Amino acid sequence: MNPDHVLAPLAARYADWLALPDSAVTSTVDDHGPVLAMPVILRIERAEPPARTALLEAAAAAAIAVCLDARAEPGGPWHESVLSWTRRNIRKVSRRARGAQWAAVDALDGRTVTVDGASARALLPGPVTEMPREVTRLQISGSELPSDVVDAPAPDVPVLWLNPGAAMTAGKAAAQVGHGSMLLAALLGASGEDESLAEWAAEGGRCAVRTASPSTWAELLPSAGDPWEVWRARRVVAVRDAGFTEVAPGTVTVLAQWRR
């Protein structure tokens, strides 16, 4: 991966982040300078709300679509905004939108992905205090959706496994699976698997999202040791949360599994 790629900073600090004690994960490079975040807008119409799983899969694909967009490449108009963000915490702020609200955010820089009728739009990241009014006027309340029954994921599709012991709203889970898709891409690139990354990007960065069974979670969860060795041997990346909302600091919220 080009060292100037917007995902390179994630791969560079992945192992260090996993090794931090729980009490330290909230003390990060974000302590210096403004807090940066990527807004993730979930389309949840009142009359016909989307299925929860499809919406999470759309959010995961939208987040990585911004990072792999040609405009985020070195020299592109999005590059500095995305790179400044990935050099810090990859925070996301999820909001719900419907009707005219959705049309308004659709006009902002970002990428929309629709999965089985469920749409999510990831916007260009920036300072939390300078978010566009179209975003700040949106709310996260009302974004919870009931669990749905889905088939087992296809064998050649990357899977984002949600922690069965960490209850999360749809908004929180959308941010976490977005982290998962980004970390998968970052480690693929850092491992020299540019062809696999390019193929995945050409297919829209699609992932399956499933809640893991306790046994699957225990089997996949990286234990003590070198996270890079775990990645090479088992193709699993862990998303560890800073604990600002909903879950305790240090909680592993998602295990992203590359299965291609």
pTM recorded for the entire structure: 0.93
Q: What's the rounded mean pLDDT across residues 15-44?
A: 71
Mean of the per-residue pLDDT values of the chain: 90
Task: Sheet containing 252-257: give its strands across.
Answer: 208-211, 159-162, 252-257, 236-240
Selection from 173, 161, 184, 174 nearest residue 120 by Cα: 174
Question: Tokens at residue 238, please?
Answer: 């862990």
Given a cut of 70, whether residue 22 has pLDDT beyond it is: no
Pairing of β 110-115 and β 159-162: unpaired
Domain boundaries, the chain: 8-257
Rg of the chain over all Cα atoms, to the nearest angstrom: 17
More confidently predicted of 44 and 25: 44
- The tens digit of pLDDT for each residue in 171-226 reads 999 999 999 999 999 999 989 999 999 999 999 999 999 999 999 999 998 776 67
CB half-sphere exposure, 121, CA atoms < 13 A: 23
**Which CATH superfamily groups domain 8-257?**
Bit1 (3.40.1490.10)
Question: CA-CA distance, 209 to 118, in Å (whole number)?
Answer: 13
pLDDT of residue 91: 93
Model confidence at 29, pLDDT cuts 50, 70, 90, reads: very low
Nearest in space to 160 (alpha carbons), one of 143, 178, 138? 178
If one compares 132 and 27, the residue with the highest pLDDT of the two is 132
